[in-house]
Structure formats: structure tokens, C-alpha cells
Chains A and B, each alone.
Chain A
Amino acid sequence: MKLESLLFMLVTFTIIAFITVSLFLKVLKNNKSANNNLQEDE
């Protein structure tokens, strides 16, 4: 595999994976509290 292609692919994969995981972890962190609030709303 050409270095140019490999780098392009890896950089893209890393950026997308990093953003996806960071956002999902942020959601997970507040998952429980969201449920509590849900009950409060009712």
C-alpha cells in the first residue's frame, strides 16, 4: 500500500474514531442522569 494512501486512510480513520468515541463517552457519562431527569419530568 502506498504511504500516501495509508497515511490518508489512517488519519481519516483516527479522526472519525476519536470524535465518535469521545461523543459517545460523553453521552454515556450523562446516561443515568438523563433517566433521572426523565422521571422528574413526569
Chain B
Amino acid sequence: MSRNEQWGTRVGLILAMAGNAVGLGNFLRFPVQAVQNGGGAFIIPYLVCFLLMGIPLLWVEWSIGRFGGSHGHHSTPFILDKMGKRFFWKYVGVFGIFSNIAIAAYYCYIESWTMSYVYHSLIGTFSGMDQGQVSGFFSDYLDVFVSTTGIPFEAIFFYVVCLALNTWILSRGLSAGVERTAIIAMPLLILFGLFLAFQGVTLTSGEKGALYDGTVGLNFLWTPEFDSLLNPKVWLAAAGQIFFTLSVGMGSIQCYASYVKARKDVALNAMSAGWINEFVEVVIGSCIIIPISIGYLGIDKVIELTTTGGLGLGFRTLPFLFQQWGDILAIIAGVSFFGLLFFAGITSSLAMGTPLMGFLQDEFRFSRRKSALMFGIIILIMGLPTVIFFQEGVFDEYDYWAGTISLVIFALFEAILFAWVFGIDRGWKELNRGAEIKVPGIYKYIIKYVTPLLLGIVLIGAIIRPANDDWSKLSFSGWELHNESIIGQLTHKGIKYNKSYFADNFQSEVSGVVDSLSQTKGRDFIHLSYLDNKEQKHSVSYNYTGNKLTVQIGQVINEGDIIYEGFVINRIFFVDMARLLMLSMFIFITYLVYKAAKRRKLSRGNQ
């Protein structure tokens, strides 16, 4: 994307921005967060966070972007440099390119699942499968050595196809590529969503194999538990959801907005795109996955399934449930559901491509095609480890550091820059230039004080998050940290056993019973079953190929017991390598920004 690019129409811009925000999380993450955080009551902190953090950040990012564009900058390093004057702001702006690359790397992988599942829904792969088989199909799909279609390395194949499609669309430019895709994808997404929401809400007990009415799920989701409003965990979850859903703190909104003309509105545009996202998430998103899955599985089972997030429910369960609707409707529902996820995904991943392209074109005079190709190559290098080592936790590592923590850090920096360094008076003027709605005056104070404060609380909350999210345990004498707190992650708190990169044996991470052994495509697996704190049964599988088992089927084992011996590469190795890769990418972009700054200085000296 270069300074010659521009949006074709205003509606196209809004749909592209809404498409950037509407992602897989609208349909898979939001309903699960609501279920886990007080049902209907979750919507209250969620909307409060939208008003106090989401809307201000949208306005801030749109204003920053348009300001940068008016000075010929289309990526955050030099937009922030222009606003902040001090040399370090351009390096803060590195987050606005890095996050997009790292997130696109694993996001395109999920996008490729949806592409593959559209294909499998169309050809009727799931027809006649029971739930275990559908779930097993997903596990097989994630295993790069297993093919469900006959295509070798199927997961990699679909990933590359998906990435190539993204690269091709980006190479066509802002108006002919990104905007045109959004104009086609967004209405289709809403149409598919409304169809599925109608099916979910009208699901009737006793018909098509449903155990309960769709309204049972809605009732569960929308029953407000007001007690949960006093729980900081719920507020932090709501704030987190607002981040992910609006795609703020990434740098992509600034990039899109940098192609808006200096005298054009951003206040109304930002609101329109933001509220379209809320409509899709709250109205459509809450009427699909939860009503349908509870209608067939009941509340307890769905709560159990959602403990591991929405991906499992979407890919392991829904294809089976759609089969209960009959052959034709199952195909339509499958194509609609995975099609809408695909459209939600691609409109977001395209947005993630534009900051890098804008940077390369602005600073290194790359052509549009060359910069799109660079995006494709970099994402392939960064993304393949998430595909190949998905089971080893590389994907989760990217999601945590790039898709969660980086966003909060960058949003906090830009909120401070806009309100306190650039100055709230200049910022307010910038926001209101060409505005087609009256921005309520109170937002001047919210942007200056409340939003940075909330962002600071979210960041500190992420650093010191207590175990079991029990905030009452916080005391001056210390408390146990959550495995997913920033400190917990940095210290590998969640890894109790197998803490060295390489070892000559593998210790069980659970106490349970050896259930069975199996062999798939020449690889050997051992399956263990265990009970959790709530006496619910779970199973875990370990790949012990090439190693010697030290336990037998039926044997009771304790945590830490050695279950096989030989040569073992532990998960911690892959986790740390993923971090190293991300850190290397961050340093590489920082170096490019340094080089670009030097080039600018030189060219100014020559003039």
C-alpha cells in the first residue's frame, strides 16, 4: 500500500474496517467468554469497556492513522515518530508491524482450517460420522503427517493456499483487492450468520435429534448473574474481549485510516465500523454456537467443552451437530458456518498485511506486488512453525505474546502518546476535523484519563494475575500466580515436569491410568485417562515414536512417573524457540526502522 493508494468508496472503507474487526473471535471467542464469565451479566462490563476503552481507542487509532497519512506515512513507526518527535517513538511503532506479522502467521492457519472445512462440508466428509469421529477428524487434520483428502501434508497445503490467496488480494491493492473483498465478504458473512442464528434460535426439542430448544442456550447465555460484576476476573475478561474484537492495539486500523484524506471524517466512520462489529458479535455471534451446541449436548457438556476455548466447539462439535439436520441442510449449514468464519478471517488477515506493505513501500520504495510478496514470504517463514509444531504449543505461544500482550502494550503507549505527548487538545482537534457526528465532550477526558488508566490496569492485571483468577488472594505477603500471567509464562510456571529441552526419558504430566496404545502413519501413541478436580474424566495422548515404553496398559501412574525412555525433545524447547523466533522478528523490524530513519536523514541532508 503506497501513497498512491486510496479507498474507492466510503462504504468500502467502513466494510473493510468492520471486516478487520470482525474475526473468528466474534463467533468462537465471545460466546465462550460470556458463558465462562457470568452469562448475560458479562455483557455489562463488556459494553462498559467498549464505551470507555473500545470507542476511545478506535477514535485515537483512526485519528493517528489519518494524521500519519496526511504526512505520507502508512505504518506506525513513522506515524508515531511524526507525533512524538522523540527518537524512541518510532521504535514503539515497531509493535504496529510486528503484531500484525506474528498474528497473521497463526491466524492464516485457522483461516485455512475454515477453508478446508468448507470443502469437507461441501463433499459431505462428515456425513455418517459420530461425534468422536468428527472430533478425531480435527485431530488428524492438525497432524501434518496425516491426510484426510489424499493430499500430502494437507494442513500445510491449505495453509499455503490460504496465504497465497491473501498475498494475491493484497497485491491487487487497497481498492481493487482489500476493499472489493470486504464488499463481497461482509454482506455474505452477515447473511450466513443470520441464517445460522435463525436455525439456532428456532431449534426445537425433539426435532432433528435436538434434546433442548435453542432458547435453552440463549437463556443460559443471557441470564444475568449480577454477582459476577464484583469479580475483577470478569472485568479483565471483558476488557480483553474488547481488545481482540475491535483489532485495536495492532496497527492495522492506523494503516487503513492513513489512506483517508486529511479533511475526511473519522469520527463517524470509526463508530460505524465499531458498531457493525458489535452487532455481528453480540447479536449474531451469541445466537449460533451456544444455542445449537446446548440444544444437542446440554449445558454441562457445553461448559466442559468451552473450558478449552471456542475452537474445539466450532471444529470438533458443530460439524457433527449439523449432520443431525439432514444431508442437504447439513451441507448448507456447514458451508455457511465455515464460510462465515473464512470471510471473517480473511477480511482480518488482509488488514494485517497492509502495515508491513505500507512500511516497505514508504521507506524502501517497494512496488505493491513486491511488498505483497514479501508479506507472503515472511508470513510463511513465521507461520510454518505454528502449523508443523501446533501440538507442541507454538501456535499458543504466538497467540499469547503477539495476539494478547503486544496489543495491550502498544495500545497503552499510543493512548499516552495521543493524549499526553501529542496533546489532548491537538488530538481532539484532529479527531473532530471533518467529523460528521458530534463527539461527546466527555470523551476528551475519557481519552486523556480513563482509557490510559484502564489499559494500565489491564496490563498490570496480566502481569500479576493470581492462580484460579482468585483476586481476593492478593496480599502484600505474596500470592500464587496464574500459569498464564506474564510472569507465570516467562518462568514456565505451567510446566512442572520435562523442564529440560532434551532428555532421555519422559515424565507423565497427569496422574491416571494407561488406557491404550495406538499407531498412526508409523507413529506410536500412548493414551492416558485421568480425573480432574471435579471428578470429570479427560484423556491425554503422548507420541512416543522411537522410544521405549516403561509402562503397560491398565497401569496406574502418578504425575512425574517416567512413561517412556529414549531421546525426547520436550515441549519447552518448542515454546522457547517460538519466543526466540518472535523476538528475532521484532529485532529485525526494529533494524529496518533504524535503517529507514537513517535513509530519511541522509535524503534530508542531500536536499
Could you tell me which A residues sit within 8 Å of B by CB distance?
A: 1-2, 4-6, 8-9, 12-13, 16-17, 19-20, 23-24, 26-28, 30-31, 34-35, 37-38, 41
Contacts and interface: CB of A to CB of B under 8 A. Distances in A.
B275 A27 contact: no
A23 B279 CA distance: 12
Give 8 closest A-B pairs by Cβ, nearest first.
A9-B222, A34-B10, A1-B215, A20-B279, A23-B272, A20-B275, A5-B222, A1-B219
B14 A24 contact: yes
Nearest to B275: A20
Given A23-B271, A41-B263, A5 B278 contact: no
B241 interface: no
B276 A20 contact: yes
Interface of B: 6, 9-11, 14, 40, 43, 47, 215-216, 218-219, 222-224, 261, 263-265, 268-269, 271-272, 275-276, 278-279, 282-283, 286, 436-437
B437 A12 contact: no
A20 B389 CA distance: 41
Contact of B268 (A2, A17, A23, A38): A23
Contacts of B275: 16, 19-20, 23-24
A21 to B, nearest CB: 8
A27 B269 contact: yes
Contact of A37 (B6, B264, B278, B286): B264
Given A23-B272, A41-B263, A5 B279 contact: no
B283 A13 contact: yes
A34 B265 CA distance: 9
Contacts of A27: 10-11, 14, 268-269, 272
A35 B222 CA distance: 42
Given A23-B271, A38-B264, A41-B263, 4 more contacts: A5-B224, A9-B40, A16-B278, A26-B268
B46 to A, nearest CB: 10
Contacts of B261: 37-38, 41
A30 B10 contact: yes
Q: Which of B10, B218, B271 has the most CB of A within 10 A?
A: B10
B40 A5 contact: yes
B279 A38 contact: no
Contacts of B43: 8, 12
Contact of B437 (A1, A26, A34): A26
Contacts of B6: 38
A8 B220 CA distance: 12
Nearest to A26: B268
A24 B264 CA distance: 16
Contacts of A16: 275, 278-279, 282-283
A31 B248 CA distance: 25
30 contacts: A1-B216, A1-B218, A1-B219, A4-B223, A4-B224, A5-B40, A5-B222, A8-B40, A9-B218, A12-B43, A12-B47, A12-B282, A16-B275, A16-B278, A17-B279, A17-B283, A23-B275, A24-B14, A24-B272, A24-B275, A26-B436, A27-B11, A27-B269, A28-B11, A30-B10, A34-B9, A34-B264, A37-B263, A38-B6, A41-B263
A8 B224 contact: yes
Contacts of A35: 9-10
Nearest to A38: B261
Contacts of B14: 24, 27
Contacts of B283: 13, 16-17
A23 B436 CA distance: 10
A5 B219 contact: yes
Contacts of A12: 43, 47, 222, 282
Contacts of A20: 272, 275-276, 278-279
Nearest to B6: A38
A13 B282 contact: yes
Nearest to A7: B222
Contacts of A24: 14, 272, 275-276
A1 B71 CA distance: 55
B443 to A, nearest CB: 16
Most B CB within 10 A of own CB, among A4, A9, A26:
A9
A22 to B, nearest CB: 9
A6 B272 CA distance: 27
Contacts of A13: 282-283
A13 B216 CA distance: 18
Contacts of B215: 1
A17 to B, nearest CB: 6
A7 to B, nearest CB: 9
A2 B18 CA distance: 33
Contacts of B268: 23, 26-27
A2 to B, nearest CB: 6
A4 to B, nearest CB: 7
Contacts of A28: 11
Given A17-B283, A26-B437, A5 B223 contact: yes
B222 A8 contact: yes
